[in-house]
Amino acid sequence: MIRFSQVSKSYGGPKDALSAVTFHLEPGEIAFLTGHSGAGKSTLLKLILVMERATRGQLVIGGINLGKLPRRRIPHYRRGLGVVFQENRLLADRSVADNVALPLVVSGVPHRDVGRRVRAALDKVGLLWAERRLPEVLSGGEQQRVGIARAVVNKPAILLADEPTGNVDDAMASQIMDLFHQFSRHGVTVLIATHDLRQVSRFRPCRHLVLEGGRLLGDRVLAA
Amino acid sequence: MKSLLLRHAQVLVAGLGRLCRHPLSSLLTLGGIGVALAVPLTLYVLVQNLSSVFGDFGDTPRMSIYVDRDAGERAAGLLADRLRDDTQVDRVTLIPRDQGLAQLFDLDALAPLRGRLVENPLPDVLEVMPIAGLDEGGYRELAARLARMDGVGDVQIDLAWVARLRAVTELVAVVVQVFWVLLLGGVAMVISNSVRLSLVTAREEIEVISLVGGSEAFIRRPFLYSGTLQGVIGALVAVVVAMGVHVLVAPALSRLMEAYLGMSTVSFASASTLANVVVASGSLGWLASWITVSRYLRQVLPR
């Protein structure tokens, strides 16, 4: 589902941000990507999102070779991905429901279906009651769950998360991780970038990818 | 198709909402556009009025025919009748020599001479208004032909006046065109700037929409609408401003035209002209925002 083959990314500096990274995630697999800040986690996610293009190597996501993906096809490609950001990136002037609806609206989903699917997604993260609120009145953990609802409302085959538990307490972090595991059990490929190694050890089985200085130093399957 | 229309309608309403959310800056933008466009519009109305009057009178040189003094008293009347039958003559007014002298003495400078002339030195005069629409050579030929008629002493034709008037109207018309170009350019810049500001404010929104798969067309659409709306509403403001100016200026203009040309109807720009202004301004708003948004998206969404 996510296949990196000798992928490197250079920003023109003396050292590559990513250097010859190779790994492959199967559909429905859940993987944690760990490493210090600056190890290349964000760069790797940006490459999958085509916010950046790889300098060398081949990147095939969901059967699409990103090196050959023309610029105008990028929006359509991104609709097949769900993304959860560290700072949740909700739009402050829109209600929770409107935020969650955004991926549906940009894909041109008919109006009558939008409401139903938004409520289903909010229900899944336990925030149906907050539908009409503005994001700012919610706690950090709740906002992060709204972000997750937005990421999955389009029923993506791939879910990416960048430090999803970075700004929440432990109890909330566990809840959020539980959600990711649920999605993975439903066949979604989940890739979570985190520096929180405790989350990695809590859920088995899973993949654990370790980045260090732009290189993939570890790639192991943690058995149940 | 229906859902597409619905989406466009939603964006249009959202665009209006955006304008209403920042009333002061919207007001300044719309006011700026309005005042900028009111200038050429007012000038245009002025030129239109003047040239419509010139079209009636100004392009046609009057001719004065001095009747031969040896031709006898009834010659002037006979000549006038013959001229009235001429196909190239529109109107003829006879000014008998006594009346001419009386008019002369009405002038302050000549008043002291009244009663002191032994003999009236003036001839009978026929003021001839030729038909309109001949060129300069045509009027010259007509004057020459009239000069050869029996009983005609001399023909004077004032082509210089026509040339001067034409030159002035043409100059003003060019000035108006230049103003249109300059100020429409100004409108494009004002709208571009305002769209740019709202883009900067919406940067986070743009990035998020792009990351969840919004196409550039989707991102661009609300800004195109608000730019076009600003152009259209700005032009409507300009129409109102120009109407206000017109109401203030029309009486004075009317008096001027009455005094010089004997015409006093002053009209405002036609509905189709106003519609053209609104359409042009709206299109410019669309174009300016398209360019601005496209440039901005290339900056913030690097690939």
Tell me, what CATH number does A55's domain have? 3.40.50.300
In a shared domain, residues A59 and A114: no
Asked if A106 lies within 8 A of B303 by C-beta distance, the reply is: no
In a shared domain, residues A64 and A165: yes
In a shared domain, residues A76 and A163: yes
Q: CB count, 10 Å around CB of A179? A: 23
CATH class of B62-157: alpha beta
Residues of A in contact with B218 (CB under 8 A): 75, 106
In a shared domain, residues A20 and A58: yes
pLDDT at A137: 94
Asked whether residue B288 carries a pLDDT value surpassing 60, the answer given is: yes
In a shared domain, residues A76 and A168: yes
pLDDT tens column, B156-177: 887 777 777 778 878 888 888 8
pLDDT band at B93 (very low <50, low <70, confident <90, very high): confident
Q: CB count, 10 Å around CB of A165? A: 25
CA dist., res. B177 & res. B245, Å (int): 19
**Count of structural domains, chain A:** 2
Supply the mean pLDDT for chain B.
Answer: 82
pLDDT at A147: 94
In a shared domain, residues A53 and A140: no
Question: Which of A107, A133, A155 corresponds to the end of one domain?
Answer: A155
Selection from A171, A194, A172 nearest residue A30 by Cα: A194
Residues of B in contact with A111 (CB under 8 A): 3, 6
How far is CA B68 from each of CA B86, B102, B148, B156, rounded to the nearest angstrom? 19, 20, 12, 14
CA angle B75, B78, B84 (to 5 degrees): 135
Is the whole-model pTM more than 0.80?
A: no
Is the omega angle on the peptide bond into residue A156 within 30 degrees of 0, that is, cis? no
CA dist., res. A139 & res. B220, Å (int): 32
Residues of A in contact with B221 (CB under 8 A): none
pLDDT at A77: 94
In a shared domain, residues A68 and A9: yes
Residues of B in contact with A91 (CB under 8 A): 204-205, 208
Question: What are A's interface residues with B at a Cβ cutoff of 8 A?
Answer: 49-51, 53, 71-72, 74-79, 81, 83, 89, 91, 102-103, 106-108, 110-111, 150, 154
Q: The domain containing residue A149 runs over which residues?
A: 87-155
Residues of A in contact with B207 (CB under 8 A): 89
pLDDT tens column, A55-77: 999 999 999 999 999 988 999 99
Name residue, tokens 């229900």.
A123
Asked if A102 lies within 8 A of B212 by C-beta distance, the reply is: yes
CA dist., res. A43 & res. A57, Å (int): 14
Asked if A89 lies within 8 A of B204 by C-beta distance, the reply is: yes
Question: Which of A155, A175, A191 corresponds to the end of one domain?
Answer: A155
CA angle B244, B249, B250 (to 5 degrees): 100
Question: Which of A116, A135, A155 corresponds to the end of one domain?
Answer: A155
Asked if A79 lies within 8 A of B210 by C-beta distance, the reply is: no
In a shared domain, residues A168 and A207: yes
